[in-house]
Homo-oligomer: A and B are copies of this chain.
């Protein structure tokens, strides 16, 4: 069992962008923090919904038919199968939750390695 997890402390341990760090797990999901900046690749996850909560900065989640803009304290769930591209115009910190083992690009060949902090 772990102690309280301070998300800002976890985020202060690395600077790499688009490289999620797992801070804990629950019910078969990884709870991750990530620093993002710039544009990610268009992708979708066939079998899993994708949970985003903005902790700092701002995030645009572009989908083929619209864009959802998220500020700190705002969240969005991308339903399974929906193509999306996260875009951050500044350094942005996110809480992500995905089933353990989900590749972040929807494709194991291009996904960032999962690391634990």
Contacts and interface: CB of A to CB of B under 8 A. Distances in A.
A83 interface: no
Contact of A73 (B3, B27, B50, B55): B55
Contacts of A29: 27
Contacts of A23: 75
A7 interface: yes
Interface residues of A, number: 35
A7 B73 contact: yes
A31 B51 contact: yes
A6 interface: yes
Q: How many copies of the shown chain assemble into the complex?
A: 2
Instruction: Label chain A's interface by main secondary structure.
Output: strand
A62 interface: no
A10 to B, nearest CB: 10
Contact of A3 (B5, B53, B68): B68
A43 interface: no
A99 B28 CA distance: 11
A31 B1 contact: no
A19 interface: no
